Structure 1
Amino acid sequence: MKRNFMLIALATTALTASGAAAQDVTLTIESWRNDDLALWQDKIIPAFEAEHPDIKLNFTPSAPAEYNAVLNSKLDAGSAGDLITCRPFDASLALYEAGHLTDLSDLDAMSNFSDVAKSAWQTDDGQATFCVPMASVIHGFIYNKDAFAELGLEEPQTEDEFFAVLDKIKEDGSYTPMAMGTNDQWEAATMGYNNIGPNYWNGEEGRQALIAGEQKLTDPQWVEPYATLAKWAPYLGDGFEAQTYPDSQNLFTLGRAAIYPAGSWEVSGFNAQADFEMGAFKPPVKAAGDTCYISDHTDIGIGMNAATEHPEAARTFLAWVASPEFAEIFGNALPGFFPLSSTPVEIQDPLANEFVSWREECESTIRSTYQILSRGTPNLENETWGASAAAIKGTATPEELGQKLQDGLASWYAPQQ
């Protein structure tokens, strides 16, 4: 009898220990969004843990510029977190193909997203989806409403109106017309070339034609945006060549510049830093009546480390990320990052709402270099950084830049040969 009692006691202890272990799952999340730390700690994590008290979350971001290298090192060493925040298209596709990300196609909650939303985190044939879409960002221009009112300016709709506004701001002399530098290069491409460019190459029509080899980077619609960027230089202020991205942000939020070539990701930070009212206008079309195109770029998703020791808990979290509840929290706690789920989310921030309203007026596309075209060497995305900065600085002609980019792409990409 005593022996049976001992066996029962041991079994009960084992079950209790097993239950305790199940209550003690902690998932670590890798991310490059270190500016989101407070959002995760204050809103996302408490909301999830309230519904799933048996799963704890640990958000451990890296500096954005270091994320890819840090993440790859951790993955190779087997020390990466359970959940991996995914950049769009090729960077994450490479992780999936290397066996680091799990196919999530069978996650029921994936039905909450359109094919377009999922395309940034799928194989080329669309058979595997390896990250849950979280948000996109939209490109345009943020402006100082006080400055515009003071100078009697209205939001420009066409390129002629855009340069007329810049001329008036420059002539007045109270403000730097436009806050952007070329020191870091990427902003010249992201907030310059891929901001205004879709109006030249007709968004997805041109981007897909480039991938198919039906258009070339020497064609007028791909070269002309560089000529337009070259016209920006007189409006960027003295020393723009050495001006960094944080310099430009500060110049605008301190009220010293009237216009900021932007992405909607700036909204939250600018709201906190600027003491003036802001507005936003979409990339001006070439001529009145033209169809407008916007870069509505699939920016961030989240996937599961294939080596996680907690796959079920990770899938539970990913299903929650795909829910309307998460979309509501994320879209309003981080205005300017727009949820990709099919369930509409009412965006409360007026500046972010201005950006997202353009989806109803314009055709959407993504950055031209992100899918397929930057897989080889030279990397077209990185080359476009340098070309955009060179166009603004006037160190090469638009035609020379187009030819260099085309030669580089054709050197490794068969459809362009």
Structure 2
Amino acid sequence: MKTKALSAILLATTTLGGAAWAETTLTIESWRNDDLTLWQDQIIPAFEASNPGIKVKFTPSAPAEYNAVLNAKLDAGSAGDLITCRPFDTSLGLYQNGHLADLSDLDGMANFSDVAKSAWQTDDGAATFCVPMASVIHGFIYNKDAFAELGLSVPETEAEFFDVLEKIKEDGSYIPMAMGTNDQWEAATMGYNNIGPNYWKGEEGRLALLSGAQKLTDEAWVAPYRALARWGSYLGDGYEAQTYPDSQNLFTLGRAAIYPAGSWEITGFNAQADFEMGAFKPPVQNAGDKCYISDHTDIAIGLNAASPNAEAARTFLNWVGSEEFANIYANALPGFFSLSSFDVPMQDPLAQEFVSWRGECGSTIRSTYQILSRGTPNLENETWNASVQVIKGAESPEDAGKRLQDGLASWYDPQK
């Protein structure tokens, strides 16, 4: 009888324990509302299959509203267990305000390099508070049909790049490049910080700017503006009023031959364009020069420090650091490249082309994202404006460099 009673107690305990654990539901906050189907159909089922005691809900907000919505939820104590992290200062602020937990001791963190983790660490690297998920790579996407029709070769140098643009313009069948300046950010993100690393030598220049060893008036930082100043002739009539969606449509409808791009466009372009696409990396200044690409740390995920389900959440975060997650995410969302140390084969040919540049070129991140946009004037926003003004011919490259340098020096001690 005692044995039967003990067995009954153990069974009840196990059943209750299992039931309690089965009721653990993790909620993920994110701005990537376009990823909802991916999470529901692929990522979450894969995790739940190997972790049957944990359920996961993906509850995104509109991208433009995410920061405000998330902060309001965190302040009210109603935010989800897992927080999708933007890079650098936005997430650093959440950590400093006690909203994100320190994940430095998470086993899965061993699968990421210091560079991969840098966007979600304190300035001294002592604490890491989000598990890196993906980066995006900058370059140019082009219409292969248009290039074949016009007998064009993929440019490798700056001179070849402008020669290709001139030939497309002379033919008149296509707008040479689809990019507008109405929304401003594209001019800096797909313009200045796309081509710029080849001039300032990637991380070497970016870190020199942080230390004060280089200034925005130096040739390496002004020269990309000189190149941008030539772009205006090739962007088509009315580019000044052209929005980001306008540019996407011009390219996918086959009206433009080249699109200054981030790899995040791949999925949408694959769905919308009915022509074959290729990609080429930012042209170097001279044949034989070492190339550099913007391989920008873009998205990660962290633990709400107030989550009542921290143990289950850490189980999920360890899985995000796994090879299984890296393969699912990178291939379900081509153009968002794994930051893990695993070798993740790409199935999409355009994604394969972008990620292959990692083996050829030095990688860096956007020059304005770490530390340099904490003050007023904000260097990121000022770079948007300067890039637009230079393309439109309203400001000289030299004047743009001086304006940005003066603004940075007004609040950033290493540049004073």
Same structural fold, with TM-score higher than 0.5 when normalized by the shorter chain: yes
Q: How does 1:39-118 map to 2 (within 5 A)?
A: 39-118=38-117
Query: Shift in Å at residue 15 of structure 1?
Result: 7.2
- Tell me the secondary structure at the aligned position of residue 186 of structure 2: helix
Residue type of the alignment partner of 2:164? V
- Aligned residues between the structures: 413
Could you say which residue in structure 2 is the equivalent of 1:188?
Answer: 187
User: Normalising to structure 1: TM-score of the pair?
Assistant: 0.96
Could you say which residue in structure 2 is the equivalent of 1:267?
Answer: 266
Could you say which residue in structure 1 is the equivalent of 2:239?
Answer: 240
After superposition, what is the alpha-carbon deviation per residue over 1:99-119, rounded to whole angstroms, capped at 9, x for unaligned?
Answer: 111100111111111111111
Q: How does 1:198-347 map to 2 (within 5 A)?
A: 198-347=197-346
- Tell me the secondary structure at the aligned position of residue 38 of structure 2: helix
Separation (CA, whole Å) in 2 of partners of 1:100 and 1:94: 9
- Tell me the secondary structure at the aligned position of residue 351 of structure 1: helix
- Tell me the secondary structure at the aligned position of residue 347 of structure 2: coil
Q: Which runs of 5+ in 1 are unaligned?
A: none
Query: Shift in Å at residue 9 of structure 1?
Result: 9.6
Separation (CA, whole Å) in 2 of partners of 1:62 and 1:326: 22
Separation (CA, whole Å) in 2 of partners of 1:225 and 1:67: 32
After superposition, what is the alpha-carbon deviation per residue over 1:315-370, rounded to whole angstroms, capped at 9, x for unaligned?
Answer: 00000000000001011111111111111011111100000111111111110001
Residue type of the alignment partner of 2:392? K
38-47 or 19-28, which moves further after superposition?
Answer: 19-28
Query: Shift in Å at residue 77 of structure 1?
Result: 1.8
Residue type of the alignment partner of 1:116? V
Identity among equivalent positions (%) equals 78
RMSD: 1.8
**Is the Cα contact below 8 Å between 2:181 and 2:243 reproduced in 1?**
yes
66-75 or 331-340, which moves further after superposition?
Answer: 66-75
Query: Shift in Å at residue 19 of structure 1?
Result: 3.8
Separation (CA, whole Å) in 2 of partners of 1:93 and 1:117: 15
After superposition, what is the alpha-carbon deviation per residue over 1:171-224, rounded to whole angstroms, capped at 9, x for unaligned?
Answer: 111111100011111111100000000011111111000000111111111112
- Tell me the secondary structure at the aligned position of residue 343 of structure 1: coil
Separation (CA, whole Å) in 1 of partners of 2:18 and 2:346: 41
Separation (CA, whole Å) in 2 of partners of 1:273 and 1:37: 19
Query: Shift in Å at residue 12 of structure 1?
Result: 8.3
Could you say which residue in structure 1 is the equivalent of 2:392?
Answer: 393
- Tell me the secondary structure at the aligned position of residue 210 of structure 1: helix
User: Normalising to structure 2: TM-score of the pair?
Assistant: 0.96
79-88 or 206-215, which moves further after superposition?
Answer: 79-88
Could you say which residue in structure 1 is the equivalent of 2:33?
Answer: 34
After superposition, what is the alpha-carbon deviation per residue over 1:136-159, rounded to whole angstroms, capped at 9, x for unaligned?
Answer: 111000000000000000100011
392-401 or 357-366, which moves further after superposition?
Answer: 392-401
377-386 or 313-322, which moves further after superposition?
Answer: 377-386
- Tell me the secondary structure at the aligned position of residue 104 of structure 1: coil
Q: How does 1:334-373 map to 2 (within 5 A)?
A: 334-373=333-372
Separation (CA, whole Å) in 2 of partners of 1:65 and 1:243: 20
Separation (CA, whole Å) in 1 of partners of 2:185 and 2:276: 27
Q: Which runs of 5+ in 2 are unaligned?
A: none
Separation (CA, whole Å) in 1 of partners of 2:18 and 2:364: 49
Separation (CA, whole Å) in 1 of partners of 2:412 and 2:238: 37
Could you say which residue in structure 1 is the equivalent of 2:176?
Answer: 177
Separation (CA, whole Å) in 1 of partners of 2:284 and 2:10: 73
Separation (CA, whole Å) in 2 of partners of 1:9 and 1:347: 52
After superposition, what is the alpha-carbon deviation per residue over 1:282-310, rounded to whole angstroms, capped at 9, x for unaligned?
Answer: 00011111111100111111100101110
Could you say which residue in structure 2 is the equivalent of 1:147?
Answer: 146
137-146 or 266-275, which moves further after superposition?
Answer: 266-275
Residue type of the alignment partner of 2:359? E
Residue type of the alignment partner of 1:200? Y
Separation (CA, whole Å) in 1 of partners of 2:187 and 2:104: 36
Separation (CA, whole Å) in 1 of partners of 2:409 and 2:183: 26
Separation (CA, whole Å) in 2 of partners of 1:249 and 1:45: 30
Separation (CA, whole Å) in 1 of partners of 2:270 and 2:212: 42
- Tell me the secondary structure at the aligned position of residue 181 of structure 1: coil
Separation (CA, whole Å) in 2 of partners of 1:160 and 1:299: 31
**Is the Cα contact below 8 Å between 2:22 and 2:55 reproduced in 1?**
no
Separation (CA, whole Å) in 2 of partners of 1:122 and 1:244: 34
> Cα gap change, 1:14/1:324 in structure 2, threshold over 3 Å: closer, same or farther?
closer
Separation (CA, whole Å) in 1 of partners of 2:388 and 2:347: 35
Detail structure 1 runs of 4+ shifted over 3 Å in the superposition.
8-19
Separation (CA, whole Å) in 2 of partners of 1:65 and 1:222: 30
- Tell me the secondary structure at the aligned position of residue 137 of structure 1: strand
Separation (CA, whole Å) in 2 of partners of 1:46 and 1:19: 19
Separation (CA, whole Å) in 2 of partners of 1:9 and 1:346: 50
After superposition, what is the alpha-carbon deviation per residue over 1:118-147, rounded to whole angstroms, capped at 9, x for unaligned?
Answer: 111111111111110111111000000000
Residue type of the alignment partner of 2:312? A
